[in-house]
């Protein structure tokens, strides 16, 4: 059973949901001012850890009209009492009652209020308490100039809850937004933290858990929340581990990977390496016959199936019998020369992963009608360009797009990007992978993912867990998608930490898969 501390990082809330949860807590008797005091004490503690008074004594605190401003005022008071030289700037006259009271008390304590931020070039740190989840419209006029001035300062900014100007749900910049070095997200992760437009503003995010009761969170989000962050705990639980002591190579999955062409032989190699790293029992790689011998030395454990090919070096046809495989993955480096390849794999009665040219072939027909005919699970791994070709009418943020596409096609949709979204059609659930690295933004990272996911798909299909999505049980194919997305992203971070953001070649990525997993499993 998961503990509270394991649940909390999984939740992703909208501003409305957060307001409802807080509303329940206040209605149950928790005084608003007591909660503000508690939350702000925790924020002040984080700030003094990250920016000790010995290194960042001169602090400017930006205070808005709502409770985000109220939090900032309590933080100002706490830091003042710890010996920081605090100045407060409260640019708007109007304020909620509690915020106005906190301002009055700060004045009573002798904390200086300054009329503008023009003098803040001497500051070591700015605390941004202008707006939190109550931002309702774009920041304009004198507030916009103030944010611009703050963003020009050389010193770091710590944002309370959200960088002011960032929309809580979409992560969009509402006119202008503060660029934080760190953001302390209060209580529960807001959706903005997994939205690409916010990433340049959030800096290093941290969750400040102030003990919201699980019962109130569940009353608003449901027992099994529809939208979740993909946490380490959840992803690790989906791996095909531990292996049975009596495992046999034919009992731990046989993947057929159909990839490569004379033109794009590397994609076949990289995806095959990803599959090998997944631990799959047997890997058959179907490739054009003319590149078979070239790939053989790099893939000694795989069965290389040289296929008849077109004049241009694309696979012309596949073996007749696809029934012996536990999963099939089709796409990397294939070219779109031979549409019948897709037709044969769609007819197979095992889980199917389509990537790259597999998706491009699918886009040439009616993807929704085609996928709805499948009886076994289908997983799609498009990047945004491939997604647009497949589902041109589906709009929204990446999470919404993935969910809508999954619902329409009944496929599991893995929409790749900085925050990859994974949508499951049967449970209508969405996971977003929160931690990755731009080091993966290079050709070949996705090919490694395809092999890894294909290999996990073949293994998971033999798992004893039920293929049902009721309650918190995750279907085998969805489980493979969650585990693969998380594993590839974390291995990317692992390789980046040991090299640089420029050093995560696809080779380094698949080489990092197992060491990363070994290290995290050892620490669990």
Ligand X SMILES: NC(=O)C1=CN([C@@H]2O[C@H](COP(=O)(O)OP(=O)(O)OC[C@H]3O[C@@H](n4cnc5c(N)ncnc54)[C@H](O)[C@@H]3O)[C@@H](O)[C@H]2O)[C@@H](O)CC1
Ligand Y SMILES: Nc1ncnc2c1ncn2[C@@H]1O[C@H](COP(=O)(O)OP(=O)(O)O)[C@@H](O)[C@H]1O
CA distance 270 to 509: 10
Q: Contact at 8 Å (CB) between 341 and 361? A: yes
Q: Choose which of 112, 438, 466, 503 interacts with ligand Y (CB under 6 A).
A: 438
Q: Is 463 annotated as a binding residue?
A: no
Q: Choose which of 92, 200, 441, 521 interacts with ligand Y (CB under 6 A).
A: 441
Helix (H) or strand (E) holding 218: helix 214-221
If the CB atoms of residues 164 and 488 are measured against ligand Y, the closer one turns out to be 488
Residue 186 binding: pick among ligand X, ligand Y, K ion, none (C-beta 5-8 Å cut-off by kind): ligand X
**Three-class SS string for 460-485?**
HCCCCCCCCCCCCCCCHHHHHHHHHH
Least distance in angstroms from the C-beta of 142 to ligand X: 10
Q: Does 96 bind ligand X (CB under 6 A)?
A: yes
Q: Is 446 annotated as a binding residue?
A: yes
Q: To 5 degrees, how large is the angle CA 220–CA 221–CA 222?
A: 100
Phi, psi dihedrals of residue 31, rounded to the nearest 5°: -70, 140
Q: Which two tokens stand for residue 149?
A: 């001035």
Q: Choose which of 49, 136, 320, 321 interacts with ligand X (CB under 6 A).
A: 136
Strands 421-424, 429-432: parallel, antiparallel or unpaired by DSSP? antiparallel
Q: Does 132 bind ligand X (CB under 6 A)?
A: yes
Q: Does 443 bind ligand Y (CB under 6 A)?
A: yes
Q: Does 503 bind ligand Y (CB under 6 A)?
A: no
Collapsing DSSP to helix, strand or coil, 377 comes out as coil
Binding-site string for ligand Y from residue 409 to residue 428, where x marks contact by CB under 6 A and - marks none? -------xxx-x--------
Q: Which of residues 337-396 bind ligand Y (CB under 6 A)?
A: 356, 383
Q: Which residue has the tokens 């998608």?
A: 481
Residue 191 binding: pick among K ion, ligand X, ligand Y, none (C-beta 5-8 Å cut-off by kind): none
If the CB atoms of residues 221 and 341 are measured against ligand Y, the closer one turns out to be 341
Q: Contact at 8 Å (CB) between 461 and 326? A: yes
Phi, psi dihedrals of residue 159, rounded to the nearest 5°: -95, 135
Specify the stretch interacting with ligand X by CB under 6 A; choose among 129-137, 224-232, 313-321, 434-442.
129-137
CA distance 446 to 444: 5
Q: Which residues contact 488 (CB under 8 A, 6 or more apart)?
A: 274, 440, 445, 448, 449, 452, 509, 513
If the CB atoms of residues 133 and 158 are measured against ligand X, the closer one turns out to be 133
Torsion sign over Cα 240, 475, 14, 383: positive
Q: Contact at 8 Å (CB) between 386 and 363? A: yes
Residue 133 binding: pick among K ion, ligand Y, ligand X, none (C-beta 5-8 Å cut-off by kind): ligand X
Q: Which of residues 110-169 bind K ion (CB under 5 A)?
A: 128, 159-160, 164
Binding-site string for ligand Y from residue 179 to residue 218, where x marks contact by CB under 6 A and - marks none? ----------------------------------------
Q: Which of residues 257-296 bind K ion (CB under 5 A)?
A: none
If the CB atoms of residues 135 and 314 are measured against ligand X, the closer one turns out to be 135
Phi, psi dihedrals of residue 314, rounded to the nearest 5°: -100, 155
- Residues lying near ligand Y in the complex (CB under 6 A) are found at 356, 383, 416-418, 420, 436-438, 440-441, 443-447, 449, 488
Task: Output the known binding site for AMP.
Answer: 416-420, 446
- Residues lying near ligand X in the complex (CB under 6 A) are found at 22, 32, 35-36, 39, 64-69, 71, 96, 131-139, 143, 160-161, 186-187
């Amino acid at each position: 059973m998961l503990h509270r501390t394991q649940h909390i990082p999984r939740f992703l809330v909208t501003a409305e949901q957060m307001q409802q949860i807080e509303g329940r807590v206040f209605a149950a008797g928790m005084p608003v001012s007591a909660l503000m005091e508690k939350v702000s004490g925790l924020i002040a503690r984080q700030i003094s850890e990250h920016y000790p008074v010995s290194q960042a004594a001169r602090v400017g605190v930006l205070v808005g009209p709502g409770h985000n401003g109220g939090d900032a005022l309590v933080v100002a008071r706490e830091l003042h009492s710890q010996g920081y030289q605090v100045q407060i700037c409260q640019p708007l006259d109007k304020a909620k009652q509690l915020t106005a009271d906190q301002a009055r008390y700060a004045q009573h304590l002798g904390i200086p209020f300054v009329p503008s931020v023009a003098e803040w070039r001497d500051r070591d740190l700015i605390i941004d308490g202008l707006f939190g989840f109550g931002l309702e419209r774009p920041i304009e006029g004198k507030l916009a100039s103030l944010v611009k001035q703050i963003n020009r300062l050389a010193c770091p900014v710590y944002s309370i809850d959200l960088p002011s100007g960032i929309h809580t749900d979409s992560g969009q910049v509402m006119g202008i937004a503060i660029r934080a070095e760190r953001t302390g997200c209060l209580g529960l992760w807001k959706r903005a933290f997994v939205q690409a437009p916010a990433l340049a503003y959030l800096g290093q995010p941290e969750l400040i858990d102030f003990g919201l009761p699980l019962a109130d969170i569940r009353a608003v989000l449901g027992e099994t929340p529809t939208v979740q962050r993909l946490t380490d705990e959840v992803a690790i639980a989906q791996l095909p581990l531990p292996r049975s002591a009596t495992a046999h190579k034919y009992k731990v999955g046989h993947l057929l990977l159909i990839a490569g062409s004379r033109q794009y032989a590397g994609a076949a190699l990289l995806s095959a390496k990803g599959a090998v790293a997944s631990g799959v029992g047997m890997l058959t790689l179907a490739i054009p016959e003319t590149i078979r011998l070239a790939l053989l030395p790099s893939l000694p454990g795989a069965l290389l199936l040289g296929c008849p090919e077109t004049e241009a070096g694309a696979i012309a046809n596949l073996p007749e019998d696809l029934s012996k495989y536990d999963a099939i993955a089709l796409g990397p480096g294939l070219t779109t020369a031979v549409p019948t390849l897709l037709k044969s794999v769609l007819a197979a009665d095992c889980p199917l992963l389509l990537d790259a040219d597999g998706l491009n072939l699918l886009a040439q027909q009616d993807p929704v009608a085609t996928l709805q005919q499948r009886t076994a699970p289908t997983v799609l791994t498009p990047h945004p360009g491939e997604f647009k070709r497949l589902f041109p009418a589906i709009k929204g943020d990446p999470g919404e797009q993935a969910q809508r596409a999954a619902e329409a096609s009944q496929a599991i949709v893995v929409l790749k990007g900085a925050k990859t979204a994974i949508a499951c059609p049967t449970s209508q659930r969405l996971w977003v992978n929160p931690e990755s690295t731009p080091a993966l933004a290079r050709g070949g990272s996705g090919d490694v993912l395809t092999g890894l996911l294909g290999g996990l798909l073949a293994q998971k299909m033999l798992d004893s867990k039920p293929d049902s999505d009721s309650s918190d049980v995750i279907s085998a194919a969805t489980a493979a998608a969650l585990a693969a997305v998380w594993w590839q992203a974390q291995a990317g971070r692992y390789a980046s930490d040991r090299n640089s953001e420029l050093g995560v070649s696809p080779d380094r990525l698949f080489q990092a898969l197992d060491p990363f997993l070994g290290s995290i499993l050892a620490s669990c």
